[in-house]
C-alpha cells in the first residue's frame, strides 16, 4: 500500500527570506510539495481550507498572538494538519518550541546559524527528511488502523520506508513483577512526541517515589534544560537536567543534557551521573543505548527500562542488554505514540514485557517499582 499523494506543506514565517529558503529545501525532498507560504497567523488560517496542508512549519519568532491564532484554529476545527516548529538553539527558542510541543506540535527543527547558505540548507534538509519520514509512517499506520480487519497484500511503503501491517508478537509479562523494593532505578528512552508524553507521565509519579528516574529525550542543548524546568513545574518530583558528578537520588528525575552523552558510574559505592562528549550513537546525542548499557552493568535485574514514542531504534540494543541481565521492559503502545518507531523495534526484538497506553504508563511504572 503506497501513499497516494505528496505531503503538502505550508510554510509560515514573517520573514520572506526564511520562507523562500525553507520552501527551496522542501522542494528537494521526494513526495513533498511546498503548497504555499504565509507571513502571519491570520493569513495562514485563511489559506488552510484552500491549500489543505498536511504539515505547517511555524517559525518560533512569529508573534505569540499569530502562533496562538493558528494553533487554536487547528485545535478548534479538529484539523489533522501537523505542526513542525522551526526554532533556534537559544533559550527563548526552546521555551516557545516546548510550549508548542506540549500543545501537540508534531516535531521541531532548529534553524542553523551558518554563513554559507548551502550549508544552512543542508542542515535543514538533514533535519527535515527524518521528520517527513516519521510523519508519513504515522499516517500510514493510521490508515492501517482504519482498515483493520481487511486483508492487506503488502506492508505500506513510501520513499523506501516500510511498515509492517501485522501486529508484533511479543512475550507479555515475561518478567515477573519484582518484589516490593527490588527495583532501584527507572530508565526512559523517548524521542518524537516526547515532551508531551513525558508531561503526561512524570507529573503522575507520586511525591515519595522510591527510586531515581533517568531520561534520554532526543533534543539539542538548551531544549533539555527547558524541558526539565517545564516538567519540574508540573510534577511532585524534582526534575533536573543532568550534570557531571550528580549523585542519583530517590524521587528525582534526571534529563540527559542535549548535545552530550549521559551514563551512570559507581564511585565509592555511590551512583553518580557521568556526562561525556563521546560520539553520537544511532545519530543521537544523547543516546538511550549509551545510558542503558551503563544501567545494565550496574543495576542488572534491579532496573526498569521504558521505551516510548519516537522514530528510529535508539535504546533497543541497550534494552537487550538490560533484559539479558533480568531487567523488566515496558513499551508505549502504538495508539498513543506520535511515532511508533522505538517501541515497535523493541517489541519486534521480543524484549518487551508489558505494553502500556500513555495514560496508563505512570501507573504501570509505580506498580513495578513499589
Question: Is there a catalytic annotation at residue 54?
Answer: no
**Which among 145, 161, 177 is the end of a domain?**
161
d(CA 126, CA 136): 16
Give the SS3 label for residue 190.
Answer: strand
Please report the pLDDT score of residue 295 as a whole number: 98
Question: Is there a catalytic annotation at residue 283?
Answer: no
Residue in 314, 333, 336, 353 annotated catalytic: 314
Do 114 and 239 fall into the same domain? no
Please report the pLDDT score of residue 166 as a whole number: 38
CA distances from 244 to 151, 256, 257, 276, 347 (A): 53, 10, 10, 8, 32
Query: CB count, 10 Å around CB of 204?
Result: 17
**Residue 132 in contact with residue 26, Cβ under 8 Å?**
no
**Domain of 142: which CATH number?**
3.40.50.2300
**Residue 194 in contact with residue 310, Cβ under 8 Å?**
yes
For 356, the domain range is: 185-369
Which grid cell is 360? 496508563
Please report the pLDDT score of residue 299 as a whole number: 97
CB-based contacts of 317, cutoff 8 Å, min separation 6:
289, 292, 293
Burial of 79 per CB tally in 10 Å (0-12, 13-18, 19+): middle
- In this structure, is residue 174 part of a structural domain? no
- Provide the CA 369 distance to its chain's centre, in angstroms: 24
**Which among 127, 161, 195 is the end of a domain?**
161
DSSP state of 325: T
Do 249 and 298 fall into the same domain? yes
Do 43 and 139 fall into the same domain? yes
Question: Is there a catalytic annotation at residue 314?
Answer: yes
- In this structure, is residue 171 part of a structural domain? no
- In this structure, is residue 172 part of a structural domain? no
**Residue 189 in contact with residue 314, Cβ under 8 Å?**
yes
Place of cell 504501570: 364
CA Rg, the chain, in Å?
A: 21
For the packed helices 64-76 and 41-51, what is the interaxial angle rounded to 10 degrees? 30
d(CA 31, CA 3): 9
Place of cell 521504558: 306
Do 226 and 299 fall into the same domain? yes
- Provide the CA 213 distance to its chain's centre, in angstroms: 17
Which grid cell is 38? 504565509
- In this structure, is residue 170 part of a structural domain? no
**Which among 129, 161, 193 is the end of a domain?**
161
- In this structure, is residue 59 part of a structural domain? yes
Q: How many CA atoms lie within 13 A of 92 on its CB side?
A: 6
Query: CB count, 10 Å around CB of 305?
Result: 30
Which grid cell is 153? 497484500
d(CA 193, CA 191): 6
Do 35 and 74 fall into the same domain? yes
Do 73 and 195 fall into the same domain? no
Residue in 218, 294, 336, 353 annotated catalytic: 218
CA distances from 153 to 141, 150, 157, 163, 169 (A): 15, 10, 12, 13, 19
Do 122 and 200 fall into the same domain? no
**Residue 252 in contact with residue 237, Cβ under 8 Å?**
yes
Sign of CA dihedral 307, 310, 314, 320: positive
Please report the pLDDT score of residue 135 as a whole number: 87
Do 138 and 228 fall into the same domain? no
Do 212 and 282 fall into the same domain? yes
Please report the pLDDT score of residue 144 as a whole number: 65
The pTM assigned to this predicted structure is 0.86
Please report the pLDDT score of residue 180 as a whole number: 57
- In this structure, is residue 106 part of a structural domain? yes
Do 364 and 223 fall into the same domain? yes
Please report the pLDDT score of residue 191 as a whole number: 95
DSSP β-ladder status, 82-87 and 32-38:
unpaired
Which grid cell is 341? 518507531
Please report the pLDDT score of residue 1 as a whole number: 41
Do 74 and 146 fall into the same domain? yes
d(CA 244, CA 251): 19
d(CA 232, CA 239): 5
Residue in 191, 235, 287, 336 annotated catalytic: 191
- In this structure, is residue 173 part of a structural domain? no
The count of domains in the chain is 2
CA distances from 362 to 54, 76, 223, 303, 307 (A): 32, 29, 23, 16, 13
**Domain of 362: which CATH number?**
3.40.50.180
Do 203 and 272 fall into the same domain? yes
- pLDDT per position in the chain (370 positions), as tens? 445 568 999 999 999 999 999 999 999 998 899 999 999 999 999 999 999 999 999 999 888 888 888 888 888 888 889 999 999 888 888 999 998 888 788 999 998 876 677 778 898 999 999 899 888 877 776 666 665 544 433 433 433 333 433 344 555 545 666 665 699 999 999 999 999 999 999 999 999 999 999 999 999 999 999 999 999 999 999 999 999 999 999 999 999 999 999 999 999 999 999 999 999 999 999 999 999 999 999 999 999 999 999 988 999 999 999 999 999 999 999 889 988 889 999 999 999 999 999 999 999 999 999 8
- In this structure, is residue 274 part of a structural domain? yes
Please report the pLDDT score of residue 103 as a whole number: 79
DSSP state of 203: G
Amino acid at each position: 500500500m503506497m501513499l497516494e499523494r505528496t505531503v503538502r506543506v505550508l510554510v509560515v514565517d514573517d520573514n520572506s527570506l526564511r520562507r523562500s529558503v525553507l520552501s527551496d529545501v522542501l522542494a528537494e525532498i521526494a513526495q513533498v510539495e511546498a503548497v504555499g507560504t504565509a507571513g502571519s497567523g491570520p493569513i495562514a488560517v485563511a489559506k488552510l481550507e484552500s491549500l489543505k496542508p498536511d504539515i505547517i512549519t511555524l517559525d518560533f519568532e512569529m508573534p505569540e498572538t499569530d502562533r496562538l491564532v493558528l494553533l487554536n484554529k487547528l485545535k478548534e476545527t479538529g484539523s489533522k494538519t501537523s505542526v513542525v516548529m522551526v526554532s533556534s538553539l537559544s533559550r527563548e527558542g526552546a521555551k516557545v518550541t516546548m510550549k508548542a510541543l506540549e500543545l501537540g506540535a508534531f516535531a521541531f527543527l532548529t534553524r542553523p546559524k551558518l554563513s554559507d547558505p548551502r550549508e544552512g540548507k543542508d542542515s535543514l534538509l538533514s533535519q527535515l527528511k527524518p521528520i517527513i519520514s516519521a510523519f508519513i509512517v504515522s499516517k500510514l499506520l493510521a490508515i492501517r488502523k482504519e482498515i483493520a480487519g481487511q486483508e492487506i497484500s503488502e506492508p505500506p511503503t513510501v520513499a523506501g520506508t516500510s511498515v509492517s501491517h501485522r501486529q508484533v508478537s511479543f512475550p507479555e509479562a515475561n518478567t515477573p513483577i519484582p518484589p516490593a523494593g527490588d527495583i532501584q532505578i527507572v530508565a526512559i528512552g523517548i524521542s518524537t512526541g516526547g515532551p508531551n508524553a513525558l508531561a503526561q507521565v512524570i507529573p503522575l509519579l507520586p511525591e515519595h517515589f522510591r527510586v531515581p528516574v533517568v531520561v534520554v529525550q532526543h533534543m539539542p542543548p538548551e531544549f533539555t534544560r527547558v524541558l526539565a524546568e517545564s516538567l519540574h513545574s508540573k510534577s511532585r518530583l524534582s526534575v533536573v537536567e543532568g550534570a557531571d558528578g550528580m549523585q542519583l537520588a530517590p524521587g528525582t528525575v534526571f534529563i540527559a543534557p542535549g548535545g552530550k552523552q549521559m551514563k551512570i558510574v559507581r564511585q565509592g559505592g555511590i551512583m553518580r551521573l557521568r556526562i561525556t562528549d563521546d560520539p553520537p550513537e544511532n545519530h543521537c546525542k544523547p543516546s538511550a543505548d549509551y545510558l542503558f548499557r551503563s544501567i545494565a552493568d550496574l543495576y542488572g535485574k534491579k532496573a526498569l527500562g521504558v521505551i516510548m514514542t519516537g522514530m528510529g531504534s535508539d535504546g533497543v540494543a541497550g534494552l537487550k542488554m538490560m533484559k539479558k541481565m533480568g531487567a523488566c521492559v515496558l513499551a508505549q503502545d502504538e495508539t498513543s505514540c506520535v511515532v511508533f518507531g522505538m517501541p515497535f523495534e523493541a517489541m519486534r526484538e521480543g524484549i518487551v514485557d508489558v505494553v502500556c497506553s500513555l495514560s496508563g504508563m505512570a501507573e504501570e511504572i509505580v506498580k513495578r517499582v513499589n
